[in-house]
Amino acid sequence: MKDVHSVSKGSGPVVLLLHGIGGSTASFCAQVDELAQTHRVVAWDAPGYAASADPDAAPGLSGYATAVADLVDDIGEAVHLVGASWGGVIALQLAMQRREMLRSLTLVAASRGSGRDPEAADRMRQRAERLREQGAEAFARERAPRLLSPAAVPEQVEQVAIQMAADIRLPGYAYAVQSMAETDHSPRLAEVAVPTLVLCGTQDTVTGPEESKALANGIPEAVYVSVEGGGHLLPQEKPTSVNTWISCFTHITRNTQRLYR
């Protein structure tokens, strides 16, 4: 796969951030700035997003996970992996493929994948066609209000729409929705053998608390945390809560798999 763009800030144990299907490194501005006080924080633009090159073909979820593994290889030590939404689905795949690369796993507003429900998979695939028909700006303006809680101010919704329009494009977005539509992690959750934290906002109507609870119930000894008032874009809407929980969890699990090579 072609080179993947990432940003890095700070020093210490590594926290690696994987954005959602409509995001980029910019989705984690609040995490990069605050967590870098005690960690080395790395965030990527997934292949085909923002500053990363377009893949030559659809990577599939395993291909995205391999791209994350390549990034961890470059980092040179096991990481605290944080995945938001689609990024959480990729993170779960890496936890199953290369668990020695992880010190801990944090899933934020994540899911088991859209492949668990044929109707959900069809809706996911249709997103790429809507992007093609509408263009990035109109598509993002339609999606943005759904990603935040009803309490979000218009300025924040506008900011989300502008950033999404800048981050997504074809074919990268189509490859991403294809990977989601093909995936159902349900049968393999018990294979996740790293300390896992599951975060979900109470106002998330995209994946939702029940889906996050299904992850937490399926992953051995996972910790489930509900963030009051948060929508789907939890790291952006409730950064203080997300940062606090990530900091606490990485501290608790700081001695897990220090080096994997």
Structure confidence by residue, pLDDT tens digits, 112-123: 999 999 999 999
Percent of the chain at pLDDT exceeding 90: 95
Structure confidence by residue, pLDDT tens digits, 3-57: 899 999 999 999 999 999 999 999 999 999 999 999 999 999 999 999 999 999 9
Separation between Cα atoms, residue 79 and residue 91, nearest integer Å: 11
User: 189, 219 in Cβ contact below 8 A?
Assistant: yes
The helix (H) or strand (E) run that includes residue 250 is: helix 239-252
CATH of domain 6-252: 3.40.50.1820
The helix (H) or strand (E) run that includes residue 96 is: helix 86-97
Structure confidence by residue, pLDDT tens digits, 46-64: 999 999 999 999 999 999 9
DSSP strand pairing (40-44 vs 14-18): parallel
DSSP designation for 252: H
- Residues 6 or more apart whose CB falls under 8 angstroms from that of 155 comprise none
Q: Is the pLDDT of residue 254 over 80?
A: no
Sorting pLDDT into bands at 50, 70 and 90, what band is 84?
A: very high
Q: Give the residue extent of every domain in the chain.
A: 6-252
Q: Is the pLDDT of residue 258 over 80?
A: no
Separation between Cα atoms, residue 138 and residue 162, nearest integer Å: 10
